[in-house]
Homo-oligomer: A and B are copies of this chain.
Amino acid sequence: MAAYKRLRIVRTIAEFRKYLKQWRLKEETIGFVPTMGYLHDGHLSLIRQANELADHTVASVFVNPRQFGPNEDYAVYPRNEERDGQLLDEAGCEILFAPSVEEMYPDGGVTKVSVPEIGDILEGHYRPGFFTGVATVVTKLLLQSLPDVAVFGEKDYQQLMVIKRMVKDLDIPVRIEGAPTGREEDGLAMSSRNTYLTPEERKIAPVLYQTISQVGEKFRAGERPPELIQWAKKQLLDAGFDKVDYLEIRDAEDLAPVYDANRPARVLVAAWLGKPRLIDNVAV
């Protein structure tokens, strides 16, 4: 068992609430960073952002089985709680909430939170039930902790927009903040799933970010989406990607197809490279 400077690991909702309530009664603010663990610098920048936004920072590590499809990587999703604890401790996080699946879903837990429209497209289309799994577990985590602010990475941009929509629609009393995507030196978006890449695939992977960045630039320069997207998909396949699930220029808020070039837009992509399916996005 690792010794931490300040971090406390809690396993039950009751204990998690007990610590947070003490702060709340003193009117001290709480920043919350929900994660699936196997932390990298991208996660740690979320912790640092939460440190800036609130008096206390807490995080959760929970690999949520209900957001994985039957043929997805739940069983092999990388886990390393001891290392996660060390990194969180060093970054200034005070509580790590690390519940079991049974603690999160006792008696089956049938209730579902779904976010139609924005949750059905793009990732939602390729991963049916994914955003319902995400929305349900994030609702639970937010209601367990009742933080003042919760920070999510822009890496999962559609997820961030789904959560913002859900929090607004359900009147969950929390502010949702997005944090910029952490990137390796060659531009690859940091992701726990990057560990699935072979050394050869790892060299190809940065083409994903390069390509969507170019799409953003060319779109701003006036190139038309259908041809631009066709060009970009070919770039990825030529570089060695196996398959492109989608590569789209969408409205930055509701992720609907972009008709008005004056509104903020986002380029979003999901593509397979060997074992992992990589996603990324950039602002236009």
Chain A residues with CB under 8 Å of chain B are 13, 17, 25, 27, 107, 109-118, 135-136, 139-140, 143-144, 146, 165-166, 168-173
Contact indicator B135/A111 (Cβ below 8 Å): yes
Contact indicator B27/A113 (Cβ below 8 Å): no
Of chain B, the residue at the smallest CB distance from A25 is: B27
26 contacts between A and B (CB under 8 A): A13-B171, A17-B173, A109-B169, A110-B115, A110-B165, A110-B169, A111-B113, A111-B114, A111-B116, A111-B165, A111-B166, A111-B169, A112-B114, A112-B115, A112-B116, A113-B113, A113-B170, A136-B170, A139-B170, A140-B169, A140-B170, A143-B143, A143-B172, A144-B171, A146-B146, A146-B173
* Ranked 5 nearest A-B pairs via Cβ: A111-B169, A143-B171, A109-B169, A111-B166, A144-B171
Chain B residues near A112: list those with CB within 8 A.
113-116
Bound form: Cα–Cα A206–B140 in Å: 43
Chain B residues near A136: list those with CB within 8 A.
170
Bound form: Cα–Cα A169–B108 in Å: 9
Bound form: Cα–Cα A112–B114 in Å: 5
Bound form: Cα–Cα A115–B113 in Å: 9
Bound form: Cα–Cα A136–B139 in Å: 13
Chain B residues near A146: list those with CB within 8 A.
146, 173
